Structure 1
Amino acid sequence: MNEKVRLGTCNVAIVGPYLSGKTTLLESLLSVTGAITRKGNVKDGNTVGDSSQEARDRHMTVEVTSASTQYSGIGFTFLDCPGSVEFAQETYNALMGVDIAVVVCEPSNNDANGLHQKVLTLAPLFKFLDDWEIPHLVFINKMDRASTNFMDVLHALKSVSSRPLVPHQYPISQGEQISGFIDLVTEQAYQYHAGAPADPIPFPHQLKEQEHAARTEMLEELANFDDHLLEELLEEIEPPQDEILQDLKLDLGADLVVPVLFGIAEQDYGVRPLLDALVREAPTPETTAQRRGITKDADVPLAQVLKTYFTPQGGKLSLVRVWQGKLTDGIVLNGVRAGGLYRLIGQQQQSVNEAGAGEIVALSRLEGIKTGDTLTTNGNKQQLACAAKMTPVYALAIAPEKRNDEVKLSGAITKLLEEDPSLAWEQHGDTHEVILWGQGEIHLQVALDRLRRKYNLPMSTHLPQVPYKETIRRPASSIHGRYKHQSGGHGQFGDVYLEIQPLPRGEGFNFRDTIVGGVVPKQYIPGVEMGVREYLVRGALGFPVVDVAVTLTNGSYHSVDSSEQAFKQAARIAMQTGMTKCEPTLLEPIAQIEVSTPNEFTAKVLQLVSGRRGQILGYEPRGDWQSWDKVTAYLPQAEMQNFIVELRSLTLGVGCFEWHYDHLQEVPNKIAEKVLATNSNGG
Structure 2
Amino acid sequence: MGDKGGKGEKIDKEPPRPGAAGRATAADRPASVRNVVLVGHSGSGKTTLVEALALTAGAVNRAGRVEDGATVSDYDEIEHRQQRSVQLSLVPVEWGGYKINLLDTPGYADFVGELRAGLRAADAALFVVSAAQEADAVAGATRAVWEECAAVGMPRAIVVTHLDTARTGFDEMTRLCARIFGGDDPDAVLPLYLPVHGAEGPDGHAPATGLVGLLSQKVFDYSSGERRVGPPEPARLPEIAEARDRLIEGIIAESEDETLMDRYLGGDEVDLKTLMEDLEKAVTRGVFHPVLAAAPAPPGARQGLGTVELLDLITGGFPTPLERPAPAVTTPLGAPRPEICCDPGGPLVAEVVKTASDPYVGRLSLVRVFSGTLRPDETVHVSGHGLTDRGHEDHDVEERVGSLSSPFGKQQRALAHCVAGDLACVGKLSRAETGDTLSAKDDPLLMAAWTMPDPLLPLAVRAHSKADEDRLSQGLARLVAEDPTMRLEQNPDTHQVVLWCLGEAHRDVALDRLRGRYGVQVDAVPFRVALRETFGASATGRGRHVKQSGGHGQFAICEIAVDPLPAGSGVEFVDKVVGGAVPRQFIPSVEKGVRAQAAHGVAAGHPLVDIRVTLLDGKAHSVDSSDAAFQTAGALALREAAGEAAIHLLEPVAEVAVLVPDEYVGPVMSDLSGRRGRVVGTEQAGPGRTLVRAEVPELEIGRYAVDLRSISHGTGSFGRTYARHEPMPQAVADRQLTREESPV
Could you tell me the TM-score, scaled by structure 2's length? 0.85
- Does 2:516 correspond to 1:461? no
Q: d(CA) in 2 for partners of 1:235 and 1:518?
A: 107
Mapped to 2, the partners of 1:328 and 1:655 lie a distance apart of 43
Q: Structure 1 residue 336 and structure 2 residue 357: aligned?
A: no
Distance in 1, Cα, partners of 2:657 & 2:129: 29
Aligned residue in 1 for 2:24? 3
2:583 and 2:194 mapped to 1: Cα distance? 93
Distance 2:359 2:57 in 1: 29
**1:144 offset after TM fit, Å?**
1.9
Partner of 2:734: 673
Deviation at 1:516, TM superposition (A): 4.9
> What is the CA-CA distance between 1:373 and the residue it aligns to?
1.3
**In 2, Cα distance between equivalents of 1:404 and 1:278:** 52
Q: Indicate whether 1:650 and 2:711 are aligned.
A: yes
Per the TM alignment, residue 296 of structure 1 is displaced from its structure 2 partner at its CA by 8.7
Deviation of the 1:517 alpha carbon: 5.1
Decide whether aligned partners of structure 1 residues 537 and 140 sit closer, same or farther in structure 2, where only a CA change above 3 A counts.
Answer: same
Work out which of the residue numbers 711, 714, 720 in structure 2 matches 1:659.
720
Q: Quick one: which amino acid aligns to residue 274 of structure 2?
A: E
Sequence identity, in percent?
31
What is the SS of the residue equivalent to 2:222? strand
The structure 2 residue matched to 1:508, chosen from 567, 570, 582, is: 570
> Per-residue deviation at 1:287?
0.9
What aligned pairs does 1:480-495 form with structure 2 within 5 A after superposition? 480-495=542-557
Whether 2:246 is the aligned partner of 1:217: answer yes
Is 1:539 matched with 2:563?
no
2:427 is aligned with 1:364: yes
List gaps (5 residues or longer) in structure 1: none
Q: Distance in 2 between matches of 1:425 and 1:237?
A: 65
d(CA) in 2 for partners of 1:39 and 1:595? 47
Q: What is aligned with 1:95? A: 119
Conservation of the 8 A alpha-carbon contact between 2:155 and 2:283: yes
Q: Secondary structure at the match of 1:70?
A: strand
Match of 1:79 among 72, 78, 103: 103
Out of 10, 28, 45, the position equivalent to 1:21 is 45
Larger CA deviation: 90-99 vs 584-593: 584-593
Corresponding position: 1:165 with 2:189: yes
Please name the residue that 1:320 is paired with. 367
Q: Which moved more, 1:600-609 or 1:362-371?
A: 600-609
Alpha-carbon shift at residue 278 of structure 1 (Å): 0.8
2:317 aligned with 1:281: yes
C-alpha separation between the residues in 1 aligned to 2:135 and 2:132? 5
Equivalent AA in structure 2 for residue 205 of structure 1: P
> Map of 1:52-201 to 2, 5 A cutoff?
52-108=76-132, 114-161=134-181, 162=183, 164-174=188-198, 175=200, 176-193=206-223, 195-197=225-227, 199-201=228-230
Q: Is the 8 A contact 2:546 2:555 kept in 1?
A: yes
| 1:430 corresponds to | 493
TM-score normalised to structure 1 length: 0.93
Q: Distance in 2 between matches of 1:272 and 1:507?
A: 70
- Residue 394 of structure 2 corresponds to none
Per the alignment, do residues 288 and 448 of structure 1 end up closer, same or farther by CA in structure 2, a change over 3 Å counting?
Answer: same
**Which deviates further from its counterpart, 88-97 or 638-647?**
638-647
- Aligned residue type for 1:299: G
SS of residue in 2 equivalent to 1:609: helix
- For the structure 1 residues 660 and 488, does the alpha-carbon distance in structure 2 shift closer, same or farther, using more than 3 Å as the test? same
Alignment-mate amino acid for residue 256 of structure 1 = V
* Cα distance, 1:679–1:63 mapped onto 2, change above 3 Å: same
Contact 1:49 1:80 in 2 (8 A): no
1:394 paired to 2:457: yes
The secondary structure found in structure 1 opposite 2:276 is: helix
Of residues 294, 313, 331, the one that matches 2:340 is 294
Instruction: Tell which deviates more after alignment, 461-470 or 556-565.
Output: 556-565
516-525 or 47-56: bigger deviation? 516-525
What is the one-letter code of the residue matched to 1:238?
E
State the aligned residue count.
672
One-letter amino acid matched to 1:506: G
1:256 and 2:302 correspond: no
2:480 matched to 1:417?
yes
Indicate how the Cα distance of structure 1 residues 39 and 351 shifts in structure 2: closer, same or farther if over 3 A, else same: same
Task: Report the secondary structure of 2:593's partner residue.
Answer: helix
Over aligned residues, Cα RMSD in angstroms? 2.4
Q: Is the 8 A contact 1:23 1:50 kept in 2?
A: no
Determine helix, strand or coil for the equivalent of 2:659: strand
Task: State the AA in 2 paired with 1:317.
Answer: L
Please say if residues 395 and 463 of structure 1, whose CA atoms lie closer than 8 Å, have aligned partners that are also in contact: no
Describe the SS at the equivalent of 2:402: coil
Q: Aligned with 2:740: secondary structure? A: helix
Contact residue 96 and residue 386 of structure 1 kept, 8 A: no
Map Cα deviations across residues 207-256 of structure 1 (whole Å, 9 max, x no partner): 33433333333333333332143233332322222222222222222222
Other-structure match for 1:234: 265
Q: Is the 8 A contact 1:398 1:436 kept in 2?
A: yes
- State the Cα distance separating 1:266 from its structure 2 match: 5.2
Partner of residue 450, structure 1? 513
Shift of 1:103: 1.0
Asked if 2 retains the 8 angstrom alpha-carbon contact of 1:141 and 1:265, the reply is no
Amino acid at match of 2:348: P
Could you tell me how far 1:310 is from its partner in structure 2?
A: 0.8
Cα contact 2:75–2:410 (8 A) shared by 1: yes
Report the more deviating stretch, 452-461 or 557-566.
557-566
Task: Give the drift of 1:277.
Answer: 0.7
SS in 1 for 2:459: strand
Matching residue of 1:272: 308
Change beyond 3 A, Cα 1:380–1:235: farther
